[in-house]
Amino acid sequence: ETGVTQSPTHLIKTRGQQVTLRCSSQSGHNTVSWYQQALGQGPQFIFQYYREEENGRGNFPPRFSGLQFPNYSSELNVNALELDDSALYLCASSQGGYSNEKLFFGSGTQLSVL
């Protein structure tokens, strides 16, 4: 049922570079959340966007930023990449802003920072 699409699927960058990851939400969903999943761990909340505004943020530095567009798609931008940013980045869509129920995840973007 997911319907959430992310691009690209894999990406290799070098330390200090910038990256933009993209996400299209499932049809009918107006809220997008981004999570970082390091190897062997559960996903960690980065932030959520609802009605084109940031709706909540986890413990990530300001070099992690995002956008949501009128069609509810979203971007995650990471500046000044560090080696520890290597992870699977997951986008999830849902309805209702703060009502963070039944998140549906995409397959993620695997980012490797060398």
Among 56, 60, 73, 75, interactor with other proteins by CB under 8 A: 56
Interstrand relation of 5-7 and 53-57 (parallel, antiparallel or unpaired): unpaired
113 near other proteins, judged by CB under 8 A:
no
39 near other proteins, judged by CB under 8 A:
yes
Task: Report the distance separating Cα 104 and Cα 39, nearest Å.
Answer: 21
Residues linked to residue 64 through DSSP beta bridges, in sequence order: 78
Polymer length of the chain? 114
CA-to-CA dists, residue 62 to 24, 40, 78, 100, angstroms: 23, 25, 9, 23
33 near other proteins, judged by CB under 8 A:
yes
Q: Which amino acid is at 1?
A: E
- Smallest gap, in angstroms, from Cβ of residue 108 to other proteins? 5
- Smallest gap, in angstroms, from Cβ of residue 3 to other proteins? 12
45 near other proteins, judged by CB under 8 A:
yes
Binding residues for other proteins, rule: CB under 8 A, are: 1-2, 4, 33, 37, 39-45, 48, 50, 55-56, 58, 87-88, 90, 92, 97-108, 110
